[in-house]
Amino acid sequence: LCSLRPNEDKLVFSAIFEMNEDAQVLKEWFGRCVMHSDRRFSYEEAQEVLDGKEDPLYAPVLHKLNQMAHRLRDERFKKGAFNFETDEVKFRLDENGKPLGIYQKVRKDAHKLIEEFMLLANKRVATFVHNKGPKSEEPYTMVYRVHEPPNPSKLETFVRFASKMGFSIKSGNTEQLSRSLNALMTEIEGKPIQNILESLAVRTMSKARYSTQNLGHFGLAFEHYSHFTSPIRRYPDVMAHRMLQHYLDG
């Protein structure tokens, strides 16, 4: 039912955007519709095209989407989003499902492309519902995915540890902290201390959670954020779909 198998009609809840070359949204539309996929790529297949493999039909589209994803990503980091590239471990299995070994999965442009457009949909749906409510009353109810700034005492411990390693972190305000942490992640890339400082920085962060209070998403630097996209069919996404349809229906 939920598979993205090509050449089949699928019932979906869509966030459709018209964007310019700078990845700015010009028009948006949300609603239930039927999707018919012409081609299903694995991440690896899409990455091969982005790396230069010829594909007359889909290469222009993939390259254009990738350029726009880079712009969306740059814009997020400019506004103070974190750039934590944590390693994901995968298992290599034989045909019977027996583990043969483990390897680190490298996140490439194909993964990041999908991620950026999912973030865009999640952000714009949350913003749409938040702005749709009457200004003089309580905003319309929505299930937001919120991420609060780090706990001050945890942050202080991390700042002290990093300074003993010779790294300075400015934590005057949230924007300054974000920029400082991103600068740190760039500085330690490829150094022996990288894994330790990255994992400690992640542990310093608050845990993201669901709430009907719109507290913003500190890690993504978004004022409004929900889980509208459903790659794994989470129940909060279904709640967001039902509420969005309720508001679209007036």
pLDDT per residue as tens digits for the range 178-189:
888 888 888 888
| pLDDT recorded at residue 86 | 65
Q: Which amino acid is at 193?
A: I
Runs of H (alpha helix) within 21-58: 43-50
- pTM score: 0.88
Q: Which residues pair with 29 in a beta bridge?
A: 16
If one compares 239 and 182, the residue with the highest pLDDT of the two is 239
If one compares 174 and 23, the residue with the highest pLDDT of the two is 23
Q: What is the CA radius of gyration of the chain?
A: 20
Nearest to 40 by CA among 10, 72, 73, 71: 10
The Cα 117–Cα 66 span in angstroms is: 10
| 19: its two tokens | 């964007």
Q: For residues 144 and 214, is the Cβ–Cβ distance under 8 A? A: yes
CA distances in angstroms from 152 to 21, 89, 205, listed in the order given: 40, 31, 10
Share of the chain above pLDDT 70, in %: 97
Confidence of residue 37 (pLDDT cuts 50, 70, 90): very high
**E strand intervals along 37-98:** 88-93
| pLDDT recorded at residue 224 | 96
The Cα 151–Cα 142 span in angstroms is: 25
Average pLDDT over residues 9-29: 95
Average pLDDT over residues 17-45: 95
Q: How far is CA 122 from the centre of its chain?
A: 9
The Cα 179–Cα 81 span in angstroms is: 8
